[in-house]
Amino acid sequence: MNPDTFFVIGLVLSVLSIPAVVSSISNGDRPRIATITLMVAGGMIVWAISNKPGGYPIESIPRVVAQVLSDFT
């Protein structure tokens, strides 16, 4: 897998795990699984940024997401 794919998967996992963390905290539970998912997503994003020459400028993120989604479909 290329770094773009890991970057997009990490973004999606992080966006989906944030509501789970907030929900667990508001219910008084410990957000174990959601926190682990958030750490894995962060690791994927950091790995993708470190392995992509030049990294990911903010303005190129929508293009990268669209490119990865078009590759899957």
Token output for 67: 């490119």
Whole-angstrom CA distances from 12 to 17, 26, 29, 38, 45 are 9, 22, 23, 10, 10
If one compares 55 and 62, the residue with the highest pLDDT of the two is 62
Q: What is the tens place of the pLDDT at every residue in 10-57? A: 999 999 999 999 999 999 988 899 999 999 999 999 999 999 988 899
Token output for 20: 């789970």
Question: 7: domain range?
Answer: 3-72
Token output for 15: 């966006």
Question: What pLDDT shows up at residue 51?
Answer: 93
Number of compact structural domains in the chain: 1
Per-position b or e across 28-57, b if 16+ CB within 10 A of its CB:
eeebeebeebbeebeebbeebeeeeeeebe
